[in-house]
Amino acid sequence: MVTLIKLCEQTDFQEKICFRVLHPEDDKKSIVVIKGQNGFYAYENVCPHFSVQLDYKDGVFSTYKNKLIMCAHHSAMFDITTGECVDGPCKGHYLKAVPIDVKDSVVFLKR
Ligand code: FES
């Protein structure tokens, strides 16, 4: 049986494409939910380079052309649709994807 846990709503993305939420199962972690051109993506907010958060200040992420998200620490660039680092010190490594579902404008963590 699949359990859905609410992460955020589409209205949380009015002026930005990334939204950070606490991990509902571990409050020491956070998740970055990204609104892409063709849907939503979610990853653990942990850079595979040094295992630190991607945002440069709380909940503020650098993105490029709605296609890439950049780690604030050493500028690794990740494809928002796959989580793959396409440039930077951890090139070829991936952000850890978080399974989600979107229903009625709400993004859920899928368990
Ligand atoms: S910690 Fe993210 S690029 Fe180094």
What is the rounded distance in angstroms from the CA atom of residue 80 to the CA atom of residue 68? Answer: 5
- For residue 91, the model assigns a pLDDT of 98
Ligand 1: list residues with CB < 6 Å: 47, 49-50, 52, 71, 73-74, 76, 88-90
What is the rounded distance in angstroms from the CA atom of residue 82 to the CA atom of residue 49? Answer: 17
- The sign of the CA dihedral 89, 77, 55, 103 is negative
For residue 51, which atom of ligand 1 is closest to its CA?
Answer: 1
CATH assignment at residue 100: 2.102.10.10
Q: Per residue of the chain (111 residues), what is the pLDDT tens digit?
A: 999 999 999 999 988 999 999 999 999 999 999 999 999 999 999 999 999 999 999 999 999 999 999 999 999 999 999 999 999 999 999 999 999 999 999 999 999
Global confidence as pTM: 0.96
As for how many domains the chain has, the answer is 1
Reading the block at residue 95, the tokens are: 């952000």
Structural domain of 36: 4-110
